[in-house]
A and B are shown apart, each in its own frame.
Chain A
Amino acid sequence: MQEAQYESLINRFLAGEATERESQELKAWLQASPEHEQVFAEAEALWQNTTAPEPAYVPAFEDFWQKIEARLDEEEAPAHARVIRLNRQTAGQIKAWVFDDKRKLRWMAAAAVLLIMIGSAALYENLVNGNALQTCSTQNAQRLRVLLPDGSQVELNAVSEIKFSKSFADSIRLVMFSGHGYFEVTPDRRPFIVQTENAQVRVLGTKFDLKSRRRKTQLVVEEGVVALRSAAAAAESSVILRGNEMSLCLDYLPPQNPERVNAAHWLGWLRNKFVFEKMPLQEAVEELQRFYDFEIRLADPELGKLTITGEFEQEPLEEILSVICRALNLKYRHDGRMYFISG
Protein backbone atom coordinates (compact mmCIF):
# COMPACT_ATOMS: atom_id res chain seq x y z
CA MET A 1 0.00 0.00 0.00
CA GLN A 2 1.22 3.42 -0.83
CA GLU A 3 1.85 6.04 1.82
CA ALA A 4 -1.06 8.27 0.82
CA GLN A 5 -3.39 5.29 0.85
CA TYR A 6 -2.58 4.03 4.31
CA GLU A 7 -2.63 7.57 5.66
CA SER A 8 -6.12 8.01 4.33
CA LEU A 9 -7.14 4.64 5.78
CA ILE A 10 -5.78 5.47 9.22
CA ASN A 11 -7.50 8.87 9.19
CA ARG A 12 -10.83 7.34 8.25
CA PHE A 13 -10.48 4.71 10.94
CA LEU A 14 -9.66 7.19 13.68
CA ALA A 15 -12.49 9.47 12.61
CA GLY A 16 -14.90 6.56 12.86
CA GLU A 17 -15.66 6.64 9.14
CA ALA A 18 -14.05 3.35 8.12
CA THR A 19 -16.27 0.67 6.64
CA GLU A 20 -16.11 -2.97 7.75
CA ARG A 21 -13.94 -3.79 4.76
CA GLU A 22 -11.61 -0.88 5.37
CA SER A 23 -11.16 -1.91 9.00
CA GLN A 24 -10.15 -5.38 7.87
CA GLU A 25 -7.74 -3.90 5.36
CA LEU A 26 -6.17 -1.79 8.07
CA LYS A 27 -5.82 -4.77 10.41
CA ALA A 28 -4.09 -6.76 7.72
CA TRP A 29 -1.73 -3.88 6.96
CA LEU A 30 -0.88 -3.51 10.68
CA GLN A 31 -0.10 -7.18 11.05
CA ALA A 32 2.21 -7.03 8.04
CA SER A 33 5.01 -5.21 9.87
CA PRO A 34 5.92 -3.68 13.28
CA GLU A 35 6.82 -0.46 11.45
CA HIS A 36 3.23 -0.16 10.33
CA GLU A 37 2.10 -0.59 13.89
CA GLN A 38 4.44 2.20 14.97
CA VAL A 39 3.04 4.57 12.36
CA PHE A 40 -0.48 3.78 13.46
CA ALA A 41 0.38 4.17 17.14
CA GLU A 42 1.76 7.64 16.51
CA ALA A 43 -1.29 8.68 14.55
CA GLU A 44 -3.55 7.25 17.22
CA ALA A 45 -1.62 9.08 19.96
CA LEU A 46 -1.99 12.34 18.12
CA TRP A 47 -5.69 11.72 17.78
CA GLN A 48 -6.18 10.76 21.44
CA ASN A 49 -4.21 13.71 22.70
CA THR A 50 -6.22 16.30 20.87
CA THR A 51 -9.13 16.80 23.18
CA ALA A 52 -11.80 19.40 22.68
CA PRO A 53 -11.36 22.62 24.57
CA GLU A 54 -14.29 23.15 26.93
CA PRO A 55 -15.74 26.34 28.36
CA ALA A 56 -15.36 26.76 32.12
CA TYR A 57 -19.14 26.53 32.41
CA VAL A 58 -22.20 26.36 30.20
CA PRO A 59 -25.06 28.64 31.30
CA ALA A 60 -28.08 26.63 32.43
CA PHE A 61 -30.65 25.75 29.77
CA GLU A 62 -33.48 27.11 31.89
CA ASP A 63 -31.92 30.59 31.95
CA PHE A 64 -31.39 30.43 28.21
CA TRP A 65 -34.96 29.30 27.58
CA GLN A 66 -36.42 31.99 29.81
CA LYS A 67 -34.79 34.66 27.67
CA ILE A 68 -35.99 33.03 24.49
CA GLU A 69 -39.54 32.74 25.79
CA ALA A 70 -39.53 36.39 26.84
CA ARG A 71 -38.55 37.37 23.31
CA LEU A 72 -41.19 35.12 21.78
CA ASP A 73 -43.86 36.62 24.02
CA GLU A 74 -42.70 40.15 23.26
CA GLU A 75 -43.12 39.60 19.58
CA GLU A 76 -46.49 38.05 19.98
CA ALA A 77 -48.81 39.17 22.75
CA PRO A 78 -49.46 42.82 23.46
CA ALA A 79 -47.76 44.05 26.59
CA HIS A 80 -50.78 44.90 28.65
CA ALA A 81 -53.54 42.51 27.74
CA ARG A 82 -55.84 42.33 30.70
CA VAL A 83 -59.50 41.55 30.81
CA ILE A 84 -61.80 44.11 32.23
CA ARG A 85 -65.21 42.59 32.50
CA LEU A 86 -67.20 43.45 29.43
CA ASN A 87 -70.31 44.91 30.91
CA ARG A 88 -72.31 47.53 29.15
CA GLN A 89 -73.38 49.00 32.43
CA THR A 90 -69.90 49.53 33.73
CA ALA A 91 -68.83 53.11 33.88
CA GLY A 92 -65.32 53.78 32.85
CA GLN A 93 -63.17 52.16 30.25
CA ILE A 94 -63.95 48.98 28.46
CA LYS A 95 -61.12 47.16 26.80
CA ALA A 96 -61.65 45.12 23.71
CA TRP A 97 -60.00 43.90 20.59
CA VAL A 98 -60.09 46.61 17.97
CA PHE A 99 -58.36 47.29 14.73
CA ASP A 100 -56.11 50.31 15.03
CA ASP A 101 -55.02 52.75 12.33
CA LYS A 102 -52.61 50.32 10.83
CA ARG A 103 -55.31 47.67 10.68
CA LYS A 104 -53.50 45.58 13.26
CA LEU A 105 -55.30 43.79 16.01
CA ARG A 106 -54.64 45.57 19.26
CA TRP A 107 -55.92 45.26 22.74
CA MET A 108 -56.83 48.77 23.72
CA ALA A 109 -59.37 51.06 25.27
CA ALA A 110 -62.57 51.02 23.25
CA ALA A 111 -64.02 54.31 24.29
CA ALA A 112 -65.30 54.73 20.78
CA VAL A 113 -68.48 53.04 19.73
CA LEU A 114 -66.52 50.69 17.56
CA LEU A 115 -66.76 47.70 19.83
CA ILE A 116 -66.58 44.31 18.29
CA MET A 117 -69.43 42.29 19.67
CA ILE A 118 -68.89 38.62 19.57
CA GLY A 119 -71.97 37.43 21.31
CA SER A 120 -71.32 37.69 24.97
CA ALA A 121 -68.89 38.68 27.66
CA ALA A 122 -68.17 35.05 28.25
CA LEU A 123 -66.52 34.81 24.88
CA TYR A 124 -64.04 37.56 25.67
CA GLU A 125 -63.14 35.93 28.91
CA ASN A 126 -62.73 32.64 27.16
CA LEU A 127 -60.27 34.22 24.79
CA VAL A 128 -57.93 35.81 27.26
CA ASN A 129 -58.78 34.34 30.63
CA GLY A 130 -55.64 32.83 32.03
CA ASN A 131 -54.27 31.70 28.71
CA ALA A 132 -51.49 33.65 27.09
CA LEU A 133 -52.18 34.60 23.52
CA GLN A 134 -50.23 33.51 20.52
CA THR A 135 -49.94 35.69 17.45
CA CYS A 136 -48.70 34.60 14.05
CA SER A 137 -48.28 37.14 11.31
CA THR A 138 -46.78 37.53 7.87
CA GLN A 139 -45.18 40.41 5.98
CA ASN A 140 -45.02 41.08 2.26
CA ALA A 141 -43.94 38.11 0.21
CA GLN A 142 -44.38 35.77 3.15
CA ARG A 143 -46.43 32.68 3.68
CA LEU A 144 -46.94 30.86 6.99
CA ARG A 145 -48.79 27.76 8.00
CA VAL A 146 -50.14 27.74 11.56
CA LEU A 147 -51.31 24.86 13.69
CA LEU A 148 -54.09 25.74 16.12
CA PRO A 149 -54.60 24.08 19.51
CA ASP A 150 -57.41 21.83 18.20
CA GLY A 151 -55.43 20.56 15.23
CA SER A 152 -56.99 22.95 12.73
CA GLN A 153 -54.59 24.54 10.28
CA VAL A 154 -54.51 27.96 8.69
CA GLU A 155 -52.33 28.98 5.75
CA LEU A 156 -51.63 32.70 5.95
CA ASN A 157 -51.08 34.67 2.80
CA ALA A 158 -48.93 37.81 2.82
CA VAL A 159 -49.69 40.60 5.31
CA SER A 160 -52.02 38.63 7.51
CA GLU A 161 -52.37 37.99 11.19
CA ILE A 162 -54.09 35.48 13.41
CA LYS A 163 -54.43 35.56 17.21
CA PHE A 164 -55.64 32.76 19.44
CA SER A 165 -55.24 31.56 22.98
CA LYS A 166 -52.79 28.74 23.43
CA SER A 167 -55.50 26.33 24.40
CA PHE A 168 -59.02 26.80 23.17
CA ALA A 169 -61.83 27.15 25.70
CA ASP A 170 -64.25 24.38 26.64
CA SER A 171 -67.22 25.71 24.75
CA ILE A 172 -65.75 27.59 21.86
CA ARG A 173 -62.75 27.85 19.54
CA LEU A 174 -62.11 31.52 18.90
CA VAL A 175 -59.53 33.24 16.70
CA MET A 176 -59.05 36.86 15.67
CA PHE A 177 -58.04 37.32 12.10
CA SER A 178 -57.09 39.95 9.54
CA GLY A 179 -55.74 39.49 6.03
CA HIS A 180 -56.10 36.47 3.80
CA GLY A 181 -56.02 32.85 4.83
CA TYR A 182 -57.13 29.34 4.01
CA PHE A 183 -58.71 27.53 6.95
CA GLU A 184 -58.90 23.78 7.47
CA VAL A 185 -61.00 23.32 10.59
CA THR A 186 -61.11 19.98 12.37
CA PRO A 187 -64.57 18.69 13.23
CA ASP A 188 -65.30 19.23 16.90
CA ARG A 189 -68.42 19.69 18.97
CA ARG A 190 -67.21 23.20 19.76
CA PRO A 191 -68.04 25.83 17.13
CA PHE A 192 -65.04 27.47 15.50
CA ILE A 193 -65.37 31.25 15.32
CA VAL A 194 -63.25 33.62 13.30
CA GLN A 195 -63.63 37.23 14.27
CA THR A 196 -62.56 39.79 11.69
CA GLU A 197 -62.79 43.53 11.86
CA ASN A 198 -66.26 43.70 10.42
CA ALA A 199 -67.63 40.19 10.42
CA GLN A 200 -67.78 36.85 12.13
CA VAL A 201 -67.49 33.41 10.62
CA ARG A 202 -68.89 30.40 12.47
CA VAL A 203 -68.10 26.81 11.50
CA LEU A 204 -68.16 23.31 12.87
CA GLY A 205 -65.60 21.64 10.65
CA THR A 206 -64.83 22.70 7.14
CA LYS A 207 -62.45 24.20 4.58
CA PHE A 208 -62.79 27.78 3.50
CA ASP A 209 -60.94 30.81 2.16
CA LEU A 210 -61.31 34.04 4.07
CA LYS A 211 -60.17 37.45 2.94
CA SER A 212 -60.64 40.33 5.33
CA ARG A 213 -59.02 43.65 4.54
CA ARG A 214 -60.25 47.22 5.05
CA ARG A 215 -63.66 46.25 6.39
CA LYS A 216 -64.44 43.94 3.53
CA THR A 217 -64.68 40.33 4.60
CA GLN A 218 -65.05 37.83 1.81
CA LEU A 219 -65.68 34.16 2.42
CA VAL A 220 -65.50 31.26 -0.04
CA VAL A 221 -66.38 27.80 1.23
CA GLU A 222 -64.64 24.79 -0.25
CA GLU A 223 -66.25 22.11 1.87
CA GLY A 224 -68.69 22.01 4.75
CA VAL A 225 -71.18 24.49 6.16
CA VAL A 226 -70.30 27.96 7.35
CA ALA A 227 -72.31 30.82 8.80
CA LEU A 228 -71.31 34.42 8.09
CA ARG A 229 -72.67 37.43 9.88
CA SER A 230 -71.73 41.04 10.31
CA ALA A 231 -69.94 42.22 13.45
CA ALA A 232 -72.45 44.99 13.93
CA ALA A 233 -74.20 44.73 17.26
CA ALA A 234 -77.69 44.68 15.84
CA ALA A 235 -76.99 42.03 13.23
CA GLU A 236 -79.59 39.34 13.31
CA SER A 237 -79.13 38.05 9.81
CA SER A 238 -76.50 35.55 9.15
CA VAL A 239 -76.01 33.77 5.87
CA ILE A 240 -75.35 30.04 5.59
CA LEU A 241 -72.82 29.00 2.97
CA ARG A 242 -72.03 25.58 1.58
CA GLY A 243 -69.32 24.25 -0.71
CA ASN A 244 -68.58 26.42 -3.75
CA GLU A 245 -70.47 29.38 -2.41
CA MET A 246 -69.23 32.89 -1.74
CA SER A 247 -70.50 35.84 0.23
CA LEU A 248 -69.11 39.06 1.59
CA CYS A 249 -69.66 41.69 4.25
CA LEU A 250 -68.91 45.30 3.41
CA ASP A 251 -68.39 47.55 6.41
CA TYR A 252 -71.10 46.71 8.92
CA LEU A 253 -73.80 45.82 6.42
CA PRO A 254 -75.30 42.36 6.62
CA PRO A 255 -73.73 39.70 4.41
CA GLN A 256 -74.68 39.59 0.74
CA ASN A 257 -76.62 36.70 -0.70
CA PRO A 258 -74.49 33.65 -1.42
CA GLU A 259 -73.18 33.38 -4.95
CA ARG A 260 -72.17 30.15 -6.62
CA VAL A 261 -68.47 30.13 -7.50
CA ASN A 262 -65.75 27.68 -8.38
CA ALA A 263 -63.94 27.43 -5.05
CA ALA A 264 -60.85 25.98 -6.75
CA HIS A 265 -60.49 29.29 -8.56
CA TRP A 266 -60.29 31.22 -5.33
CA LEU A 267 -57.73 28.89 -3.84
CA GLY A 268 -55.25 29.46 -6.65
CA TRP A 269 -53.05 31.47 -4.32
CA LEU A 270 -52.23 28.34 -2.30
CA ARG A 271 -50.41 27.09 -5.37
CA ASN A 272 -48.97 30.50 -6.28
CA LYS A 273 -51.58 31.15 -8.92
CA PHE A 274 -53.28 34.50 -9.27
CA VAL A 275 -56.89 34.34 -10.35
CA PHE A 276 -58.46 37.69 -11.14
CA GLU A 277 -62.17 37.64 -11.92
CA LYS A 278 -63.43 41.09 -12.83
CA MET A 279 -61.12 42.44 -10.19
CA PRO A 280 -60.54 46.18 -9.96
CA LEU A 281 -57.00 47.02 -10.98
CA GLN A 282 -56.43 48.68 -7.60
CA GLU A 283 -57.07 45.40 -5.78
CA ALA A 284 -55.08 43.35 -8.26
CA VAL A 285 -52.13 45.67 -7.86
CA GLU A 286 -52.32 45.36 -4.08
CA GLU A 287 -52.31 41.56 -4.30
CA LEU A 288 -49.28 41.62 -6.55
CA GLN A 289 -47.51 44.02 -4.21
CA ARG A 290 -48.04 41.76 -1.25
CA PHE A 291 -46.89 38.67 -3.06
CA TYR A 292 -43.81 40.04 -4.80
CA ASP A 293 -42.88 42.72 -2.24
CA PHE A 294 -42.50 45.36 -4.93
CA GLU A 295 -44.26 48.71 -4.93
CA ILE A 296 -46.69 49.30 -7.79
CA ARG A 297 -48.15 52.78 -8.22
CA LEU A 298 -50.95 53.96 -10.43
CA ALA A 299 -50.39 57.36 -12.01
CA ASP A 300 -54.08 58.10 -11.76
CA PRO A 301 -56.29 56.56 -9.04
CA GLU A 302 -59.13 56.41 -11.57
CA LEU A 303 -57.20 53.67 -13.35
CA GLY A 304 -57.73 51.56 -10.25
CA LYS A 305 -61.38 51.13 -11.13
CA LEU A 306 -60.69 49.31 -14.40
CA THR A 307 -61.32 45.61 -14.00
CA ILE A 308 -59.28 42.68 -15.20
CA THR A 309 -59.92 39.00 -15.61
CA GLY A 310 -57.13 36.50 -15.99
CA GLU A 311 -54.96 33.77 -14.48
CA PHE A 312 -51.23 33.96 -13.84
CA GLU A 313 -49.04 31.22 -12.56
CA GLN A 314 -45.68 31.90 -10.90
CA GLU A 315 -44.54 34.30 -13.58
CA PRO A 316 -42.13 37.14 -12.98
CA LEU A 317 -43.94 40.29 -11.94
CA GLU A 318 -42.82 42.16 -15.06
CA GLU A 319 -44.52 39.65 -17.33
CA ILE A 320 -47.78 39.86 -15.43
CA LEU A 321 -47.77 43.67 -15.54
CA SER A 322 -46.97 43.56 -19.21
CA VAL A 323 -49.98 41.37 -19.96
CA ILE A 324 -52.29 43.45 -17.78
CA CYS A 325 -51.16 46.70 -19.34
CA ARG A 326 -51.61 45.37 -22.83
CA ALA A 327 -55.14 44.22 -21.99
CA LEU A 328 -56.09 47.61 -20.54
CA ASN A 329 -54.13 49.67 -23.02
CA LEU A 330 -51.85 51.07 -20.32
CA LYS A 331 -48.10 51.56 -19.98
CA TYR A 332 -45.76 50.57 -17.22
CA ARG A 333 -42.34 51.80 -16.18
CA HIS A 334 -39.79 50.10 -13.93
CA ASP A 335 -37.61 52.00 -11.46
CA GLY A 336 -35.60 50.08 -8.89
CA ARG A 337 -38.08 48.34 -6.60
CA MET A 338 -41.06 50.25 -8.03
CA TYR A 339 -43.36 50.02 -10.98
CA PHE A 340 -45.44 52.90 -12.33
CA ILE A 341 -48.56 52.28 -14.38
CA SER A 342 -50.00 55.09 -16.47
CA GLY A 343 -52.59 55.62 -19.20
Chain B
Amino acid sequence: MQESASPSNDDELTRAIKLSDRTAFKQLCERYYDPLYRFLWRKTRNDEAAQDLVQELFMNLWKMRARLDENLSIKAYLYRAANNLAINHLRKKVLKQAHFVDNLADAHGGHSDEERELQECFDEALQDLPEPQRTVFMLNRFEGLKYAEIAETLQISIKTVESRMSKTLKHLRQKFGSLIRAS
Protein backbone atom coordinates (compact mmCIF):
# COMPACT_ATOMS: atom_id res chain seq x y z
CA MET B 1 0.00 0.00 0.00
CA GLN B 2 1.13 3.51 -0.63
CA GLU B 3 3.15 4.82 2.26
CA SER B 4 2.27 8.49 2.54
CA ALA B 5 1.13 10.65 5.43
CA SER B 6 -2.58 10.02 5.83
CA PRO B 7 -4.59 12.97 4.49
CA SER B 8 -6.22 14.98 7.22
CA ASN B 9 -8.03 18.01 5.90
CA ASP B 10 -11.21 17.92 3.82
CA ASP B 11 -9.58 19.07 0.58
CA GLU B 12 -6.93 16.38 0.75
CA LEU B 13 -9.58 13.77 1.47
CA THR B 14 -11.64 14.98 -1.49
CA ARG B 15 -8.68 14.72 -3.81
CA ALA B 16 -7.90 11.20 -2.60
CA ILE B 17 -11.52 10.08 -2.90
CA LYS B 18 -11.59 11.34 -6.49
CA LEU B 19 -8.77 8.89 -7.11
CA SER B 20 -10.90 6.04 -5.71
CA ASP B 21 -8.98 5.87 -2.43
CA ARG B 22 -11.16 3.87 -0.06
CA THR B 23 -9.19 4.69 3.07
CA ALA B 24 -9.74 8.38 2.52
CA PHE B 25 -13.41 7.70 1.90
CA LYS B 26 -13.70 5.89 5.22
CA GLN B 27 -11.99 8.81 6.96
CA LEU B 28 -14.47 11.22 5.46
CA CYS B 29 -17.34 9.02 6.59
CA GLU B 30 -15.91 8.91 10.11
CA ARG B 31 -15.72 12.66 10.17
CA TYR B 32 -19.22 13.40 8.92
CA TYR B 33 -21.36 10.39 9.76
CA ASP B 34 -22.56 11.56 13.18
CA PRO B 35 -23.49 15.17 12.34
CA LEU B 36 -25.12 14.18 9.05
CA TYR B 37 -27.08 11.40 10.70
CA ARG B 38 -28.39 13.87 13.27
CA PHE B 39 -29.25 16.38 10.58
CA LEU B 40 -31.19 13.79 8.59
CA TRP B 41 -32.97 12.66 11.73
CA ARG B 42 -33.93 16.23 12.63
CA LYS B 43 -35.42 16.70 9.21
CA THR B 44 -37.28 13.42 8.98
CA ARG B 45 -37.86 12.64 12.69
CA ASN B 46 -37.67 8.97 11.79
CA ASP B 47 -34.93 6.50 12.79
CA GLU B 48 -35.36 4.20 9.82
CA ALA B 49 -35.45 7.04 7.32
CA ALA B 50 -32.34 8.59 8.80
CA GLN B 51 -30.46 5.28 8.60
CA ASP B 52 -31.48 4.66 4.98
CA LEU B 53 -30.77 8.20 3.88
CA VAL B 54 -27.36 8.42 5.53
CA GLN B 55 -26.36 5.26 3.66
CA GLU B 56 -27.65 6.67 0.39
CA LEU B 57 -25.90 9.96 1.04
CA PHE B 58 -22.42 8.49 1.34
CA MET B 59 -22.89 5.82 -1.35
CA ASN B 60 -23.95 8.52 -3.79
CA LEU B 61 -20.89 10.52 -2.89
CA TRP B 62 -18.70 7.52 -3.74
CA LYS B 63 -20.54 6.83 -7.00
CA MET B 64 -20.20 10.43 -8.10
CA ARG B 65 -16.63 10.81 -6.90
CA ALA B 66 -15.25 11.55 -10.35
CA ARG B 67 -17.36 14.70 -10.45
CA LEU B 68 -16.25 16.08 -7.09
CA ASP B 69 -14.88 19.59 -7.30
CA GLU B 70 -11.90 19.80 -4.96
CA ASN B 71 -12.23 23.59 -4.88
CA LEU B 72 -15.64 23.46 -3.26
CA SER B 73 -16.35 22.51 0.33
CA ILE B 74 -17.25 18.87 0.74
CA LYS B 75 -19.08 19.75 3.94
CA ALA B 76 -21.44 22.01 2.00
CA TYR B 77 -21.85 19.32 -0.64
CA LEU B 78 -22.82 16.76 2.00
CA TYR B 79 -25.34 19.02 3.71
CA ARG B 80 -26.84 20.04 0.39
CA ALA B 81 -27.18 16.44 -0.75
CA ALA B 82 -28.59 15.41 2.63
CA ASN B 83 -31.07 18.27 2.52
CA ASN B 84 -32.27 17.20 -0.91
CA LEU B 85 -32.58 13.57 0.16
CA ALA B 86 -34.62 14.59 3.19
CA ILE B 87 -36.92 16.86 1.18
CA ASN B 88 -37.55 14.13 -1.38
CA HIS B 89 -38.22 11.65 1.36
CA LEU B 90 -40.72 13.94 3.07
CA ARG B 91 -42.47 14.65 -0.20
CA LYS B 92 -43.08 10.96 -0.69
CA LYS B 93 -44.46 10.43 2.76
CA VAL B 94 -47.69 12.20 3.60
CA LEU B 95 -46.94 13.71 6.94
CA LYS B 96 -50.00 14.54 8.93
CA GLN B 97 -49.34 17.38 11.27
CA ALA B 98 -50.67 15.45 14.26
CA HIS B 99 -48.49 12.45 13.49
CA PHE B 100 -45.46 14.65 13.31
CA VAL B 101 -46.19 16.26 16.62
CA ASP B 102 -46.46 12.84 18.27
CA ASN B 103 -42.83 12.18 17.46
CA LEU B 104 -41.71 15.46 18.93
CA ALA B 105 -42.33 14.33 22.47
CA ASP B 106 -39.37 11.93 22.31
CA ALA B 107 -37.01 14.49 20.92
CA HIS B 108 -36.39 16.44 24.07
CA GLY B 109 -36.12 13.83 26.73
CA GLY B 110 -34.39 14.54 29.99
CA HIS B 111 -35.74 18.01 30.61
CA SER B 112 -38.36 19.16 33.03
CA ASP B 113 -42.00 19.07 31.93
CA GLU B 114 -42.09 22.81 31.53
CA GLU B 115 -39.01 22.86 29.40
CA ARG B 116 -40.31 19.99 27.34
CA GLU B 117 -43.55 21.79 26.65
CA LEU B 118 -41.59 24.80 25.59
CA GLN B 119 -39.45 22.75 23.26
CA GLU B 120 -42.48 21.11 21.71
CA CYS B 121 -44.12 24.44 21.11
CA PHE B 122 -40.88 25.60 19.63
CA ASP B 123 -40.78 22.60 17.32
CA GLU B 124 -44.31 23.31 16.20
CA ALA B 125 -43.49 26.92 15.56
CA LEU B 126 -40.56 25.82 13.46
CA GLN B 127 -42.79 23.56 11.42
CA ASP B 128 -45.02 26.53 10.71
CA LEU B 129 -42.25 28.21 8.86
CA PRO B 130 -41.75 27.75 5.14
CA GLU B 131 -39.05 25.22 4.26
CA PRO B 132 -36.32 27.68 3.12
CA GLN B 133 -36.44 29.65 6.35
CA ARG B 134 -36.57 26.62 8.55
CA THR B 135 -33.60 24.98 6.87
CA VAL B 136 -31.41 28.05 7.25
CA PHE B 137 -32.21 28.26 10.94
CA MET B 138 -31.63 24.56 11.52
CA LEU B 139 -28.30 24.56 9.75
CA ASN B 140 -27.10 27.46 11.86
CA ARG B 141 -28.58 26.69 15.24
CA PHE B 142 -28.54 22.88 15.23
CA GLU B 143 -25.77 21.95 12.83
CA GLY B 144 -23.47 24.80 13.75
CA LEU B 145 -22.82 25.98 10.20
CA LYS B 146 -21.62 29.55 9.71
CA TYR B 147 -23.55 31.85 7.38
CA ALA B 148 -20.92 31.48 4.67
CA GLU B 149 -21.18 27.70 4.85
CA ILE B 150 -24.98 27.83 4.72
CA ALA B 151 -24.78 30.09 1.68
CA GLU B 152 -22.59 27.56 -0.09
CA THR B 153 -24.69 24.60 1.00
CA LEU B 154 -27.98 26.04 -0.24
CA GLN B 155 -26.44 27.99 -3.12
CA ILE B 156 -27.86 31.33 -1.98
CA SER B 157 -26.26 34.65 -1.06
CA ILE B 158 -25.19 35.47 2.50
CA LYS B 159 -27.68 38.33 2.48
CA THR B 160 -30.46 35.82 1.82
CA VAL B 161 -29.19 33.70 4.71
CA GLU B 162 -29.30 36.70 7.03
CA SER B 163 -32.74 37.75 5.93
CA ARG B 164 -34.18 34.26 6.41
CA MET B 165 -32.57 33.98 9.83
CA SER B 166 -34.07 37.25 10.98
CA LYS B 167 -37.52 36.31 9.66
CA THR B 168 -37.32 33.08 11.61
CA LEU B 169 -36.19 34.76 14.79
CA LYS B 170 -38.87 37.38 14.46
CA HIS B 171 -41.49 34.67 14.07
CA LEU B 172 -40.19 32.81 17.11
CA ARG B 173 -39.99 35.97 19.17
CA GLN B 174 -43.60 36.75 18.38
CA LYS B 175 -44.71 33.29 19.40
CA PHE B 176 -42.59 32.98 22.49
CA GLY B 177 -42.03 36.49 23.77
CA SER B 178 -44.47 35.79 26.54
CA LEU B 179 -43.49 32.22 27.29
CA ILE B 180 -39.84 32.91 27.85
CA ARG B 181 -39.00 34.69 31.05
CA ALA B 182 -35.76 36.53 30.83
CA SER B 183 -33.70 36.01 33.92
Q: Taking beta carbons and an 8 Å cutoff, which residues of A are in contact with B?
A: 7-8, 11-12, 15-17, 38, 41-47, 49-56, 58-59, 61, 64-65, 67-68, 71-72, 134, 136, 142-147, 149-151, 153, 166-167
- The answer on a CB contact under 8 Å between B54 and A145 is no
- The answer on a CB contact under 8 Å between A166 and B104 is no
Main secondary structure of the interface of B (DSSP, over half): helix
- Specify which chain A residues have a CB less than 8 angstroms from the CB of B77 in the assembled complex: none
- The answer on a CB contact under 8 Å between A8 and B42 is no
- Specify which chain A residues have a CB less than 8 angstroms from the CB of B118 in the assembled complex: 49
- Give which listed residue, A15, A51, A56, A151, contacts B140 with CB less than 8 A: A15
- The answer on a CB contact under 8 Å between A54 and B38 is yes
Digit string of B169-183 for contact with A (CB within 8 Å is 1, else 0)? 110110011001111
- Specify which chain B residues have a CB less than 8 angstroms from the CB of A72 in the assembled complex: 22, 62
- The answer on a CB contact under 8 Å between A58 and B16 is no
- Specify which chain B residues have a CB less than 8 angstroms from the CB of A54 in the assembled complex: 38, 107
Q: In the assembled complex, how far is the CB of residue A77 from the closest CB belonging to chain B, in whole angstroms? A: 12
> What are 9 sample pairs from A and B whose C-beta atoms fall under 8 A apart?
A50-B119, A50-B172, A53-B142, A59-B37, A71-B55, A134-B20, A142-B66, A145-B18, A145-B20
- Specify which chain A residues have a CB less than 8 angstroms from the CB of B180 in the assembled complex: 42, 45-46, 49
Q: In the assembled complex, how far is the CB of residue B135 from the closest CB belonging to chain A, in whole angstroms? A: 14
Count of chain A to chain B residue pairs whose CB atoms are closer than 8 Å in the complex: 125
- The answer on a CB contact under 8 Å between B51 and A153 is no
- The answer on a CB contact under 8 Å between B19 and A17 is no
- Given A11-B165, A15-B165, A59 contacting B51 (CB threshold 8 A): yes
- Given A53-B119, A65-B29, A143 contacting B2 (CB threshold 8 A): no
8 Å CB interface, B121-156 against A: 122-123, 140-142, 146-147
Q: How many angstroms from the CA of A134 to the CA of B62 in the assembled complex? A: 14
Q: How many angstroms from the CA of A43 to the CA of B122 in the assembled complex? A: 14
Q: In the assembled complex, how far is the CB of residue A342 from the closest CB belonging to chain B, in whole angstroms? A: 36
- Specify which chain B residues have a CB less than 8 angstroms from the CB of A151 in the assembled complex: 2
- The answer on a CB contact under 8 Å between B2 and A149 is yes
- Specify which chain B residues have a CB less than 8 angstroms from the CB of A50 in the assembled complex: 119, 122, 141, 172
Digit string of B22-56 for contact with A (CB within 8 Å is 1, else 0)? 10001001100110011001100101001100110
Flag whether B1 is at the interface (Cβ < 8 A): yes
- The answer on a CB contact under 8 Å between B104 and A53 is yes
- Given A11-B166, A72-B22, A142-B66, A56 contacting B51 (CB threshold 8 A): no
- The answer on a CB contact under 8 Å between A58 and B38 is yes
- The answer on a CB contact under 8 Å between A45 and B183 is yes
Flag whether B69 is at the interface (Cβ < 8 A): no
- The answer on a CB contact under 8 Å between A45 and B181 is yes
- Give which listed residue, B19, B123, B172, contacts A53 with CB less than 8 A: B123
- Specify which chain A residues have a CB less than 8 angstroms from the CB of B106 in the assembled complex: 56
The 5 closest A-B pairs by CB, nearest first: A147-B19, A53-B107, A52-B142, A41-B182, A55-B41
- Give which listed residue, B16, B38, B140, B176, contacts A55 with CB less than 8 A: B38
Q: In the assembled complex, how far is the CB of residue A205 from the closest CB belonging to chain B, in whole angstroms? A: 15
- Give which listed residue, A8, A46, A51, A144, contacts B20 with CB less than 8 A: A144
Flag whether B58 is at the interface (Cβ < 8 A): yes
Chain A residue with the shortest CB-CB distance to B66: A144
Flag whether B162 is at the interface (Cβ < 8 A): yes
- Specify which chain A residues have a CB less than 8 angstroms from the CB of B107 in the assembled complex: 53-55
- The answer on a CB contact under 8 Å between B16 and A8 is no
- Specify which chain A residues have a CB less than 8 angstroms from the CB of B140 in the assembled complex: 15
- The answer on a CB contact under 8 Å between A61 and B165 is no
Q: In the assembled complex, how far is the CB of residue B3 from the closest CB belonging to chain A, in whole angstroms? A: 9
- The answer on a CB contact under 8 Å between B2 and A71 is no
- Specify which chain A residues have a CB less than 8 angstroms from the CB of B58 in the assembled complex: 68
- The answer on a CB contact under 8 Å between A61 and B33 is yes
Q: How many angstroms from the CA of A73 to the CA of B162 in the assembled complex? A: 44
Q: In the assembled complex, how far is the CB of residue A299 from the closest CB belonging to chain B, in whole angstroms? A: 35
Chain A residue with the shortest CB-CB distance to B21: A147
